[in-house]
């Protein structure tokens, strides 16, 4: 009997019964609800089994099962990225782009709430007309303003703008005025020269003019009067000084340093004082007052508490009476130093300010946008030189040592110790910027140690000096100077903070631009080979702007220093000789050293009216104090 299955000769109809067998073999395809199956096994048109296909099981529609066990599964959806993101666009997994050239491209905005980390050898490149915008708001640290001393700068006669006729002095955004002052030397700017507890000289501090107070009672006269006071009292008599700040502050307290009973025979110390605030400089609100009852016996700060809750931009300290002290000369007030302490105005709601820290690694400059650059080793060698590609400007040094390990120059403090370049090719009033790192060990040895750089000769438009009021000794600071040209500004930044700004204008004027009060004042230095020291007829008094015919206010040589037996008299008493172009000039001299070069147009010379006036002389100039012309 054969096991083969013969082709069907007809149909087998089974009604109301089951077909049961240990095995079931079919010679052709089997169909269930499918009279003409195309596959080995088909159920309708939804489920098919084909033993010879790479996809042996094919299902059209959903599969519903309590569980599916699969050893390997491959799913290849025929959907674009938009279709997938429509279902869900959030994942906690890391998304990685593997394209070696461009991994991510978009023409829309990209918002990132965390950090962007760049691996080594990565670059951030931008095209032209790209705007980098940083917006807020976000909180600053500290979250509350700090108590600060104002002004935040030291008033320096060599730096501030002055108008003695209006008693006005301006420096770095601060303006100081006074209702009156005894002399131009005893001006209100001296209140902020930070000399406490030192008394420089008898002209230190601010003194009101004489007779501004009753000499016997000390009560203010009507010479100096503050008007515009809000409230029942619209005006008060008494000399006063005003401080205008660059911004508003809430005044916490102020402290004053006055003359004392030991060092000063006539202290003329304030008795009743008032403090006012204003935001327009004309309408004043009283914010405090104080009654002094005694004159101190030593240099001390005396504090006046205010604790104002309203911020003001202008402040006034007014004295309406003077404390009696062993005399009746109470006709003026004298204050040596003044400090204001307060909090800057709270930032308004919606403040979009941003605290940003930028960190970078300095590389060699290879750009034609720079004329000169030397900061570190040349990448092609070990000797520092101009690193600007294609530039022929040379670099030389005088008494300076280069540290190749740390990439900086050390100047040895000699009279000429510097690093110089060849001509930069500047012509006319050329705008420019100079930036450098500096670490100074001694800021007060002499005026030249304060001079960081100059641009010259023939083009002496830029000179930057810094002192211990702007930088700390033995500390690295970044100093940047930007010059816009005439009509613009010249600005000095220290560690990113603007410390000085001035208008670029014609520099023609009187030099020194202020009254000399000693041999060295504001960067100017006076010396002489001969002076009469017996009653103080010293060399610097030739520059004290005092034309009074009293000889103590003038420079005079010692007696005798001229042979009066000859006509004209000839110099004796160790005169010096200057040789210029083979010609010898012998005599006594007065020398002025400036902090910068000067092209002299003319010299104003005032001698005594009747005798001891110069008969003949020469004016000599030098850039090294050795070679004169």
Domain of 530 in residue numbering reads as 508-629
Q: Is 473 contained in some domain? A: yes
Residues 330 and 201 in one domain: yes
Q: Nearest Cα to 373, choosing from 418, 431, 454, 433?
A: 433
Burial class (CB in 10 A: 0-12, 13-18, 19+), 585: middle
Residues 521 and 497 in one domain: no
Q: Is 590 contained in some domain? A: yes
Q: Is 88 contained in some domain? A: no
Residues 493 and 576 in one domain: no
pLDDT for residue 576 = 84
Q: Which of 470, 503, 536 is the last residue of a domain?
A: 503
Residues 339 and 434 in one domain: no
Q: Which of 470, 487, 503 is the last residue of a domain?
A: 503
Residues 205 and 336 in one domain: yes
Decide: 435 and 478 in contact? Cβ < 8 Å. Answer: yes
To the nearest whole number, what is the mean pLDDT of the chain?
A: 79
In whole angstroms, give the CA distance from residue 174 to residue 548.
33
CA contacts within 13 A on the Cβ side of 168: 8
| First-to-last C-alpha distance (Å) of the chain | 142
Going by C-beta distance under 8 Å and a sequence separation of 6 or more, which residues neighbour residue 12? none
Residues 329 and 248 in one domain: yes
Decide: 360 and 478 in contact? Cβ < 8 Å. Answer: no
Cis peptide before 137 (omega within 30 of 0): yes
Q: Which of 457, 483, 503 is the last residue of a domain?
A: 503
Structural domains counted in the chain: 4
Q: Is 74 contained in some domain? A: no
pLDDT < 50 regions, the chain: 1, 136-138, 140, 348-370, 375-380, 446-449, 457-463
- Specify the pairing of strand 30-32 against strand 41-43: parallel
Q: Is pTM, for the whole model, over 0.85? A: no
Structure tokens at 494: 């220290």
pLDDT for residue 446 = 43
φ and ψ at residue 85, rounded to 5 degrees: -70, -25
Q: Is 101 contained in some domain? A: no
Structure tokens at 563: 């042979």
Residues 448 and 316 in one domain: no
Residues 537 and 565 in one domain: yes
Q: Is 140 contained in some domain? A: no
Q: Is 601 contained in some domain? A: yes
Q: What is the pLDDT of residues 79-126, one digit of tens each?
A: 777 777 788 888 888 888 888 888 888 888 888 888 887 776 677 766
Residues 244 and 313 in one domain: yes
Q: What is the pLDDT of residues 32-82, one digit of tens each?
A: 888 888 888 888 888 888 988 888 888 888 888 777 777 776 666 667 777
Cis peptide before 457 (omega within 30 of 0): yes
- Taking every pair of C-alpha atoms in the chain, what is the biggest distance, in angstroms? 170
Q: Is 495 contained in some domain? A: yes
Structure tokens at 414: 């000699």
pLDDT for residue 459 = 36
Sign of CA dihedral 196, 199, 203, 208: positive
Could you tell me the CATH number of the domain that includes residue 273? 2.60.120.260
Residues 558 and 477 in one domain: no
Residues 188 and 336 in one domain: yes
DSSP code of 7?
P
pLDDT for residue 310 = 95
Residues 497 and 512 in one domain: no
CA contacts within 13 A on the Cβ side of 268: 26
């Amino acid at each position: 009997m054969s096991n083969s299955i013969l082709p069907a000769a007809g149909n087998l109809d089974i009604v109301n019964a089951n077909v049961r067998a240990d095995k079931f073999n079919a010679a052709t395809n089997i169909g269930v609800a499918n009279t003409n199956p195309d596959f080995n096994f088909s159920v309708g048109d939804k489920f098919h089994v084909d033993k010879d296909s790479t996809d042996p099981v094919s299902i059209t529609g959903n599969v519903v099962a309590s569980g599916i066990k699969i050893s390997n599964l491959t799913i290849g959806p025929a959907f674009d990225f938009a279709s997938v993101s429509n279902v869900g666009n959030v994942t906690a997994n890391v998304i990685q782009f593997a394209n070696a050239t461009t991994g991510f491209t978009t023409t829309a905005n990209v918002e990132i709430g965390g950090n962007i980390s760049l691996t080594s050898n990565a670059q951030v490149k931008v095209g032209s007309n790209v705007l980098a915008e940083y917006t807020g708001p976000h909180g600053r640290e500290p979250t509350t303003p700090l108590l600060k001393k104002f002004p935040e700068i030291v008033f320096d006669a060599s730096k501030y703008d002055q108008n003695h006729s209006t008693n006005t002095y301006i420096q770095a955004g601060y303006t100081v005025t006074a209702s009156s002052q005894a002399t131009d030397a005893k001006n209100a700017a001296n209140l902020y020269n930070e000399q406490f507890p030192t008394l420089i000289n008898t002209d230190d501090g601010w003194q009101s003019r004489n007779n501004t107070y009753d000499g016997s009672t000390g009560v203010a006269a009507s010479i100096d009067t503050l008007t515009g006071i809000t409230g029942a009292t619209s005006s008060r008599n008494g000399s006063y000084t005003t401080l205008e700040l660059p911004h508003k502050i809430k005044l916490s307290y102020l402290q004053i340093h006055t003359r004392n009973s030991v060092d000063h025979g006539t202290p003329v110390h304030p008795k009743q004082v008032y403090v006012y605030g204003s935001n327009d400089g004309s309408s004043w609100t009283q914010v405090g007052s104080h009654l002094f009852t005694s004159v101190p016996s030593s240099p001390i700060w005396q504090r006046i508490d205010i604790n104002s809750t309203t911020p003001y931009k202008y402040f006034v300290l007014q004295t309406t009476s003077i404390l009696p002290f062993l005399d009746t000369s109470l006709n003026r007030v004298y204050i040596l130093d003044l400090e204001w302490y307060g909090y800057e105005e709270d930032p308004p709601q919606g403040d979009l300010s941003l605290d940003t820290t930028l960190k970078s690694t300095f590389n060699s400059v290879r750009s034609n946008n720079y004329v000169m650059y030397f900061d570190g080793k040349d990448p092609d060698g070990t000797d520092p030189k101009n690193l600007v590609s294609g530039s022929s400007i040379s670099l030389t040094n005088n008494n300076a040592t280069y540290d190749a390990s740390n990439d900086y120059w050390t100047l040895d403090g000699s009279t000429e110790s510097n690093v110089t370049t060849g001509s930069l090719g500047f012509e006319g009033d050329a705008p420019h910027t100079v930036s450098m790192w500096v670490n100074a060990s001694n800021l007060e040895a002499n005026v030249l140690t304060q001079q960081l750089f100059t641009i010259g000769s023939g083009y002496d438009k830029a000179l930057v000096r810094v002192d211990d009021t702007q930088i700390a000794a033995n500390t690295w600071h970044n100093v940047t100077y930007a010059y816009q040209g005439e009509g613009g500004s010249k600005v000095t930044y220290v560690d990113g903070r603007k410390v000085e700004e001035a208008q670029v204008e014609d520099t023609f004027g009187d030099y020194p631009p202020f009254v000399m009060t000693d041999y060295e004042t504001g960067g100017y230095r006076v010396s002489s080979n001969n002076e009469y020291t017996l009653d103080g007829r010293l060399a610097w008094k030739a520059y004290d702007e005092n034309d009074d015919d009293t000889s103590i206010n003038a420079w005079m040589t010692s007696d005798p220093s001229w042979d009066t037996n000859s006509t004209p008299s000839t110099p004796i008493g160790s005169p010096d000789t200057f040789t210029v172009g083979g010609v010898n000039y012998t005599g006594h001299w007065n020398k002025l050293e400036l902090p910068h070069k000067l092209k002299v147009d003319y010299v104003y010379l005032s001698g005594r009216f009747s005798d001891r006036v110069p008969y003949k002389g020469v004016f000599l100039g030098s850039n090294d104090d050795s070679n004169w012309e």
